[in-house]
A and B are shown apart, each in its own frame.
Chain A
């Protein structure tokens, strides 16, 4: 068997390869709201910070000069200062209020946009790409990963910018006092700044693992919840719980590890500060004594400098804190962006694309090969033409490629080589909207949404009224069935449709497809769970409804093939026989065998 390159099956990007800075840039591109009013918010933040500095200074002044001054209490001064302080407090409060409110607003807006875009993109990805990630993990990308970003966005960015500003201001003030001591301070902090890069890398990796583990945990929880029947009937709760517990433990370990790294890298700032404090005093003394450059440093200046160091240290610590928080947020952001950056390699030609005509469609397969990513060829050189308006049955052993054929025909996947044409248009040039409107596939396993019967059927045609829906049900010969449901169209179908019987689920999927009124209808074992009498009845109804249109029906029940205009027989990915039922029976071959088994079964 030949192995070929994946046709359409890029796996979901993790975003791991994007740098932090690129992530933020890309994030802001995706959610332009984030940039709204940025400068205003920054200004408010600066005002708020200024206020926070003013108040202690004013209080200090009042105490020193107004109350504790050389002339006893200076009442006018105290009053003036108290007024200034009160004013500053009110201003700080007001600007903090505005800043916080604005930050929340832009962050929440930006995140909503991010979520929605990522969600949409998941649906735009090809089926095969969607299947490379487990559903629970996909859910985590549009829920919990996005939630992580919010924390950082709301405060981190602004605090980070302010911190840098404060560091610069503090440095300038220190320089004004003594450039020598300023160098000492910077030298003490140099190792911290240098190690920052290293820690950022480790933190980034650590939080990347954390986010991945959340996804795995949700996937581990989601699987047994959906497959609860199997878990119950085989009593494998123990093993299932063990698997979930393992995922939980891995998430816990990853979080703890990241937290340890965060705590450690954060604590380093304090050590640098201690060192700086000590060296400033020591070097200050030496300077004063003229051991180093001939300076005229006084004891008062050295002590004042010691105070300045603390002005420098606190924004540095705040900054480091922001950077660590940022890594967590960015790890989440990356994963969401990873989705958006996963190419939808089944491209919608969009506005430039062709539209399918609203008439019976003819089908051409031009030497089509198909292989699943990394696997052998599943369709081999399928080369056939189906005239418009034909009713075709597709049969073949299980695993022979029938479903694959249907998926390539409806462009859920593109061929590895060769092309598929509908009404003369290569599928790759047809707009998705036109394709989905004209061509409808009813898959092997009917999926219903947790809603009413009416809502599920209307999914095929959003403009349909309840009467249209009722007519469609009756049109398929299912009026009796609808009557038998006490709540009629208002019956709730349950999660994944599980409050309906398997046969009923298929009926709903059929009515839904019928309501969509396609020109080409592809049924992939769409009535496999329906009882024989009903199946035959539906078959006849469909026959009438689809007359003049093209239909492709995959079925294991030969009754379908017997009634078709033409039968196409698949064997190991090749079309081995085709023609009307009677001719094929005479021909024997694969079809002859399948038919013989069928007849033998019926004969019992």
Chain B
């Protein structure tokens, strides 16, 4: 009885040769092409080696299970033979049986069967546990890397791709673990059978063993043809996931413009490419699988032919032919299971490399080890010759220098796209400057220890991002903050009213991205999230754009009170509205990526016409 397995598979697909078929934008993320110079076998075993080194014990258990299974398969035949000779035949001869003999037969058969079952469970569960542990380990590593990699990297790598790395690629990488114990276990059977064959008759054995180079050649040929397809397939899976993620993310736009059909076409293009590649892989498999299965059969025929010839010349007995042919049939199944293992290699290598590429990505952000302690005063911020550009040759900010003394409030004002948000990303070290320094309390941000900056500086970004969590979770972000402080932050942000009105108050869940809230409500929670941390430097990027003037006035009043009471915060605000700007001790007017003017709001209004035009725009007489 051999255990047959339905083929593990799952191959999807696209036209690998058509570069126009995919968006040039993600050239950078398309996977490394299968390197033709390297051996798939070596790399495949290399990947498995990683798994075996990391999980030696489970691997041992499952391999032992597989060996047990193999041994007991042989034992089964032996038990039948024993029962025939010692119980059945005597019984028919004598016409009597003893209860002991009956029990012995029962016990032997059942004993072997139960042990074999144990072997199966050990092997399969072992392989499963090993596979899932490796998957989980690599998922943890790759997601941890996502959290470490710089924002610039994230902007180049669509979320959908990252999901595919963490799921499909990791899965592909460790797929060969499933057939591994079986293959290793049966390898023992193969070795024993081969040795026996060689002992019986060298010539016939040699003919029979021709099967092995043929199997190897077939496997290599298969891998050669399928590797490029699998490379493309894994890339396509990522692209498919990317289209789906983006499209679902923008579902509202799709709907409001009635573009469902176009989006579906975009997705269908990838799905169909995947399908066509899957079919191509299927054709290759369709050749390879039957071939692997037939080769031992041809081996047996070869042995028969040579055997007949050898017997006629008196070099061998008919018994030898029978033995060798039988041994060859026995190894036919193990050869298949090894074939399955090797068949998983191309996909596994591709998946592994795709994951490894993320893991090998340099984490550019480096940290120092300076800690600022817990001073109870506001922070001092200094910018010194700061310059930044997203694309080479196109500076967004240049030569920015200014100082904000502790407790002071500075407003940054500038036209749309003048670089204000970019400045906030530099202040919070989401990016590092190309030139110059950002200095907090005398320490360059780059010298701060990891996590230190966040203890002192908080940013309220221009677009509020909510987690699928409770109101409390979204405000405290998991920190242990007493409810009174949460409420007090909510009060300053004018969010206490609507939070109190929610059915479960602080414990109400918000839904992904906070969809159950209005725009202004989300923005106020985002503000409360920053306030609750009592930052020594607070950076507000247009943080009241979505609230009505009345609430905005109340927020500003509350913040003014806080400032007046010496809330121990230095404040940098990006704002357009005069009421907000009026909170500031000083205004920086940003134009052309530089500080075009600075001074108090009143001074600037008076002396800088561009500034006046910008902030007074609402008062222009309607035409």
Complex CA gap A45/B546 in Å reads 65
Complex CA gap A245/B601 in Å reads 50
A135 in contact with B512 (CB, 8 Å): yes
Complex CA gap A505/B423 in Å reads 18
Q: For A244, what are the chain B residues with a Cβ–Cβ distance below 8 Å? A: 140, 143
Is B95 part of the binding interface, using a Cβ–Cβ cutoff of 8 Å?
Answer: yes
Is B454 part of the binding interface, using a Cβ–Cβ cutoff of 8 Å?
Answer: yes
Q: Which residue of A lies closest to B252 (CB)?
A: A443
Is B87 part of the binding interface, using a Cβ–Cβ cutoff of 8 Å?
Answer: yes
Q: Which residue of B lies closest to A259 (CB)?
A: B128
Is A499 part of the binding interface, using a Cβ–Cβ cutoff of 8 Å?
Answer: yes
B473-493 residues at the A interface, CB under 8 angstroms: 477-478
Complex CA gap A460/B257 in Å reads 7
B interface residue count range (under 10 / 10 to 19 / 20 to 34 / 35 or more): 35 or more
Q: How far is the CB of A487 from chain B (nearest CB, A)?
A: 9
Is B353 part of the binding interface, using a Cβ–Cβ cutoff of 8 Å?
Answer: no
A495 in contact with B301 (CB, 8 Å): no
CB contact between A134 and one of B25, B125, B468, B553 (< 8 Å): that residue: B468
A100 in contact with B286 (CB, 8 Å): yes
A14-37 residues at the B interface, CB under 8 angstroms: none
With A67-B307, A432-B258 as given contacts, are A271 and B286 in contact (CB-CB < 8 Å)?
Answer: no
B11 in contact with A89 (CB, 8 Å): no
With A143-B240, A221-B162 as given contacts, are A63 and B322 in contact (CB-CB < 8 Å)?
Answer: yes
Is A358 part of the binding interface, using a Cβ–Cβ cutoff of 8 Å?
Answer: no
A73, A314, A372, A535: residue with the most chain B Cβ atoms closer than 10 Å:
A73
B259 in contact with A459 (CB, 8 Å): yes
Q: For A600, what are the chain B residues with a Cβ–Cβ distance below 8 Å? A: 553, 579
Q: For A289, what are the chain B residues with a Cβ–Cβ distance below 8 Å? A: 91, 95-97
Q: How far is the CB of B292 from chain A (nearest CB, A)?
A: 10
Q: For B321, what are the chain A residues with a Cβ–Cβ distance below 8 Å? A: 63, 67-68
Is A97 part of the binding interface, using a Cβ–Cβ cutoff of 8 Å?
Answer: yes
With A236-B477, A252-B135 as given contacts, are A285 and B417 in contact (CB-CB < 8 Å)?
Answer: no
B10, B83, B390: residue with the most chain A Cβ atoms closer than 10 Å:
B10
Which of A179-187, A198-206, A469-477, A558-566 sits within the interface?
A558-566
B256 in contact with A492 (CB, 8 Å): no
Q: Which residue of B lies closest to A495 (CB)?
A: B158
Q: For B92, what are the chain A residues with a Cβ–Cβ distance below 8 Å? A: 285, 288, 298-299, 302
Q: For A534, what are the chain B residues with a Cβ–Cβ distance below 8 Å? A: 415-416
Q: How far is the CB of B96 from chain A (nearest CB, A)?
A: 8
Complex CA gap A533/B11 in Å reads 55
Which of A363-371, A391-399, A415-423 sits within the interface?
A391-399
Is B374 part of the binding interface, using a Cβ–Cβ cutoff of 8 Å?
Answer: no
B6 in contact with A321 (CB, 8 Å): yes
Q: For A214, what are the chain B residues with a Cβ–Cβ distance below 8 Å? A: 167
CB contact between B550 and one of A75, A108, A259, A597 (< 8 Å): that residue: A597
Is A579 part of the binding interface, using a Cβ–Cβ cutoff of 8 Å?
Answer: no
Q: For A267, what are the chain B residues with a Cβ–Cβ distance below 8 Å? A: 116-118, 120-121
Q: How far is the CB of B580 from chain A (nearest CB, A)?
A: 8
Complex CA gap A135/B261 in Å reads 20
Complex CA gap A73/B105 in Å reads 38
Which of B38-46, B432-440, B516-524 sits within the interface?
B516-524
Complex CA gap A403/B515 in Å reads 12
Complex CA gap A435/B294 in Å reads 62
With A223-B468, A395-B548, A601-B552 as given contacts, are A310 and B1 in contact (CB-CB < 8 Å)?
Answer: yes
The digit string for A103-117, where 1 denotes a CB below 8 A from any CB of B, is 111011101100110
Is A151 part of the binding interface, using a Cβ–Cβ cutoff of 8 Å?
Answer: yes
Complex CA gap A244/B465 in Å reads 18
B158 in contact with A450 (CB, 8 Å): yes
A322 in contact with B6 (CB, 8 Å): yes
With A62-B304, A108-B282, A557-B618 as given contacts, are A441 and B91 in contact (CB-CB < 8 Å)?
Answer: no
Q: For A138, what are the chain B residues with a Cβ–Cβ distance below 8 Å? A: 244, 248
CB contact between B268 and one of A116, A154, A229, A492 (< 8 Å): that residue: A116
Complex CA gap A460/B262 in Å reads 12
With A259-B124, A507-B416 as given contacts, are A232 and B151 in contact (CB-CB < 8 Å)?
Answer: yes
A93 in contact with B416 (CB, 8 Å): no
Q: How far is the CB of B606 from chain A (nearest CB, A)?
A: 14
Q: Which residue of A lies closest to B619 (CB)?
A: A602
Q: How far is the CB of A97 from chain B (nearest CB, A)?
A: 5
A45-93 residues at the B interface, CB under 8 angstroms: 48, 52, 55-56, 59, 62-63, 67-68, 72-73, 75, 78, 82, 85-86, 89-90, 92-93
Q: For B259, what are the chain A residues with a Cβ–Cβ distance below 8 Å? A: 459
Q: Which residue of A lies closest to B553 (CB)?
A: A597
Q: For B278, what are the chain A residues with a Cβ–Cβ distance below 8 Å? A: 104, 107-108, 111, 150
With A96-B293, A112-B274, A278-B109 as given contacts, are A398 and B521 in contact (CB-CB < 8 Å)?
Answer: yes
Q: For B364, what are the chain A residues with a Cβ–Cβ distance below 8 Å? A: none
Complex CA gap A286/B104 in Å reads 16
A94, A127, A135, A449: residue with the most chain B Cβ atoms closer than 10 Å:
A135
Is B576 part of the binding interface, using a Cβ–Cβ cutoff of 8 Å?
Answer: yes
A479-497 residues at the B interface, CB under 8 angstroms: 481, 484, 486, 492, 494-496
Q: For B498, what are the chain A residues with a Cβ–Cβ distance below 8 Å? A: 399
B552 in contact with A59 (CB, 8 Å): no
Complex CA gap A336/B231 in Å reads 26
Which of A169-177, A349-357, A382-390, A522-530 sits within the interface?
A522-530
Q: Which residue of B lies closest to A502 (CB)?
A: B462
Complex CA gap A109/B314 in Å reads 59
B430 in contact with A412 (CB, 8 Å): no
Q: How far is the CB of B414 from chain A (nearest CB, A)?
A: 8
The digit string for B318-359, where 1 denotes a CB below 8 A from any CB of A, is 110110010001000000000000000000000000000000
Complex CA gap A111/B279 in Å reads 11
Is B366 part of the binding interface, using a Cβ–Cβ cutoff of 8 Å?
Answer: no
Complex CA gap A136/B322 in Å reads 60
The digit string for A196-235, where 1 denotes a CB below 8 A from any CB of B, is 0000000000000000001001110111111111111111
CB contact between A317 and one of B1, B88, B453 (< 8 Å): that residue: B1
CB contact between B542 and one of A55, A270, A396, A529 (< 8 Å): that residue: A529
B496-520 residues at the A interface, CB under 8 angstroms: 498, 511-513, 515-516, 518-520
Is A338 part of the binding interface, using a Cβ–Cβ cutoff of 8 Å?
Answer: no
Complex CA gap A107/B519 in Å reads 45
Q: For B318, what are the chain A residues with a Cβ–Cβ distance below 8 Å? A: 67-68, 72-73
Complex CA gap A441/B618 in Å reads 24
Q: For B329, what are the chain A residues with a Cβ–Cβ distance below 8 Å? A: 56, 59
B10 in contact with A147 (CB, 8 Å): yes
Which of B379-387, B562-570, B609-617 sits within the interface?
B609-617
Complex CA gap A229/B548 in Å reads 26
B257 in contact with A93 (CB, 8 Å): no
B124 in contact with A262 (CB, 8 Å): yes
What are 10 inter-chain pairs, A to B, with CB distance below 8 A? A82-B305, A108-B12, A112-B271, A222-B163, A235-B453, A274-B114, A275-B110, A278-B108, A310-B1, A317-B4
Q: Which 9 A-B pairs have the closest CB atoms?
A: A104-B282, A274-B113, A436-B258, A398-B520, A235-B454, A259-B128, A503-B416, A601-B579, A100-B286
Other A-B pairs, 5, CB within 8 Å; known A226-B513, A495-B155: A136-B163, A144-B167, A152-B6, A227-B467, A484-B417
